[in-house]
Each structure stands twice: as structure tokens, then as C-alpha cells.
Amino acid sequence: MPLTVDQAHYLFAVMRLGAGARVALFNGRDGEWTAEVVEAGKKSGRLRCLGQAAPQLDPPDLWLLFAPIKKERTDFIVEKAAELGCAKILPVQTEFTNAQRIRQDRLQAHALEAAEQCLGTYVPEVCDLQPLAAVLKGWDPARRLLWGDESLVGPAETLAGLSPGPWAILIGPEGGFSEPERARLRGLDFVTPVSLGPRILRADTAACAAITLWQSALGD
């Protein structure tokens, strides 16, 4: 199996591996595989697949919808959502979202690095930025949506009573959701507003807390 220039650079220049070294491989669908380095060049290389080391481990059917914030914090949200086990990540543009565009390819690469870091075999898809209104319009109501609603500040929900099935979490930007957005969310049958505790959390903290609470109630 030939390596790309980036892969060869990472394995042989950064990790300093050479011929005979063992590496773990995954493609997001077929579990983890062990391979041996058979050629190690500066910009190229070749691996030989030795066999499967672990089966595919897919996360539960949980999506994260979030409004992109500052670049580093958006990177953080994507990284942590991938580590904590989201199946899909959808950046959404809301009325108070400052970002007009995102680098989807960069965020997808962050999700891949996060999966590598936590030895996951699944890489969540990171979608391009879409208006929240359009996402809600095309929503399949079979997937229920937990809306982190900071106006409910009270005890953190355990989310213990949630029924299993496809779920998504929605977290707003620094300025929260506008009143028309809040009214729209309140009027949708598939939306459940939840409190994440008695404090107003930053959007990146809120995303991590909500995913963790959901995972503790319904995850693996």
C-alpha cells in the first residue's frame, strides 16, 4: 500500500519510523488494521497490511449542531465532538453567528486527528456551514433535537428519561439564539429544550457538557 507525501512525512520524519516498524491503520469503516513499513523514503513509502487488530467501533447515532465561534474554539468543538463520540457534526449559521464561512476541509482534518488520538475507528463527517433555518426545514422529525437553552438555567438535566433512537444536540453562539429563533425552536415538536446547569457556559463548554450528559444517559 503506497503512502501519500503527507503520510510519509508524518511517519518517517515526524515519528521517525523506519522499515520494519508496525503501524495501526483505519479508514473509518473497516476497524483497525496492523501494517508493517516496507519502504521508508523522504516523500514516499509503502506499507504491508498484516491483519485486522480490532473491529469497527461506530459511535451512537448522535449529531452535534453548533454555531461556529472563534477559529480556535470552533476547532476545539469539532475535536471534542469527535473524541466524545458524535456521528456527524453540522456547523449552523444562526442570526448571531459571526462566522460567514468555515474551512470545512480543515475541520474534517481535525476530526480525523481526534479520531486517531483517541484510537477510534470512526471519523465523524463534518458538514459545510448551513443556515439553521434551512437545516430545521429539512429535518427528519424521527431524529429528536436537544436544544441547549441557557434561559432554563437550573439543575443540570441528567437526560435520564430520554428514549433511545437518533438524537442531535443544538448549541448556540456566544450571543445565544435570537428571539425569533427561540420562538421557532419552541414551536417544533421534535425539539426538547434542556438546561446544562445553573451557569451560562461558553459555547464550547456547553457542547462538551451536552454530549457528555447525552452519552452518560444513552451512549456506549
The answer to the question of residue 134 lying near ligand SAM (CB under 6 A) is no
Contact residue for ligand SAM among 22, 42, 48, 202 (CB under 6 A): 202
Considering beta carbons, is residue 79 or 157 the nearer one to ligand SAM? Answer: 157
Taking the complex as a whole, the smallest distance from the CB of residue 92 to ligand SAM amounts, in Å, to: 11
Amino acid at site 4: T
Q: Which stretch binds ligand SAM (CB under 6 A): 38-46, 123-131, 159-167, 202-210?
A: 202-210
Contact residue for ligand SAM among 195, 212, 218, 219 (CB under 6 A): 195
Considering beta carbons, is residue 60 or 193 the nearer one to ligand SAM? Answer: 193
Length of the chain: 220
DSSP 119: T
Taking the complex as a whole, the smallest distance from the CB of residue 89 to ligand SAM amounts, in Å, to: 15
Integer Cα distance of 203 and 51 in angstroms = 42
Taking the complex as a whole, the smallest distance from the CB of residue 175 to ligand SAM amounts, in Å, to: 5
Per-residue b or e along 26-37, where b marks 16 or more CB atoms closer than 10 Å to that residue's CB: bebeebbbbbeb
Of 175, 205, 176, the closest CA to residue 193 belongs to 176
The answer to the question of residue 197 lying near ligand SAM (CB under 6 A) is yes
Integer Cα distance of 89 and 84 in angstroms = 12
Contact residue for ligand SAM among 107, 196, 208, 211 (CB under 6 A): 196
Q: Let me know the angle formed at the C-alpha of 9 by 5 and 13, rounded to the nearest 5 degrees.
A: 160
Taking the mean position of all CA atoms in its chain, how far away is CA 145? 16
Nine-digit cell string for 101: 464561512
Taking the mean position of all CA atoms in its chain, how far away is CA 131? 18
Q: Which stretch binds ligand SAM (CB under 6 A): 38-46, 120-128, 160-168, 199-207?
A: 199-207
DSSP 37-52: EEEE-SS-EEEEEEEE
Considering beta carbons, is residue 109 or 201 the nearer one to ligand SAM? Answer: 201
Q: Which of residues 139-178 bind ligand SAM (CB under 6 A)?
A: 148-150, 153, 171-172, 174-177
Residue 51 burial (CB < 10 Å; 0-12/13-18/19+)? exposed
The answer to the question of residue 136 lying near ligand SAM (CB under 6 A) is no
How many residues contact ligand SAM, by CB under 6 A? 19
Q: Which residues of this chain interact with ligand SAM, rule CB under 6 A?
A: 148-150, 153, 171-172, 174-177, 195-197, 199-203, 206
